Each structure stands twice: as structure tokens, then as C-alpha cells.
Structure 1
Amino acid sequence: MTRFIREQITGDTTTVTSTASTETDPLEQLEKLGELRDNGVLSEEEFEEKKADLLDEI
């Protein structure tokens, strides 16, 4: 039982870590912002503002 709990905790931590690192990659965030713009969620102005912020991080 203890082994199962440890495996679950380790597995969850790995998932959270990989998700967090994906979200912090500026290029991937830029791609997501482009999709949001293309789908009408973000205006062109909002996209350009966020794009400039992300490019400053690179």
C-alpha cells in the first residue's frame, strides 16, 4: 500500500512538473496565443501585446 501511494505521489509530481515547464516555454506560449487570436478569443492588439512580452523573455 505504501509503495502504491509513493508511486502515485511521484507520478503526480512528474506530471505537474512537465506541465509547468511546458507553460513557461515562451515559444509554445506564443503558438498558443496565435491559436487564441485565430479563434477570435484574443484581439490582434491583445495578441501583439502578449507577443512582445514573450519575445522579451527569449
Structure 2
Amino acid sequence: MEGLGIVIAAMTMEAIGHPNLSFLLNLAMALGVALIGYTSWLTYRLFRKRESGIRAL
């Protein structure tokens, strides 16, 4: 996940350099998608951990 942060930082730096509003809009949408994907991945991991814990009992 560290690589994703570096990519986001580079894209943000590029967005600051460009006064293009549509690019900023695309960046915001990409960040939203990445955030949704990351949270769903986290909940999936938590659910799997809980499931394996119940199975262990």
C-alpha cells in the first residue's frame, strides 16, 4: 500500500501544477474509487479473520 501513497502524492503534485479542472475532477474520482476499494479490502480482511477465529473455537 506504500506504493499507492507515492502514486497519489505524485498525481497530487501534478494536479497542483496543472490548472486543469477536469484533471482535478478525474483525480478526485480516482481517489474515491481507491478509497472505496481499500475500505472494502479492509472489511474483507477483518471478516476473514473473524471467520477463521470462529472456526478455531
TM-score (norm 1): 0.48
Q: As a proportion of its length, which structure holds more helix? A: 2
* Higher RCO (C-alpha under 8 Å, 6+ residues apart): 1
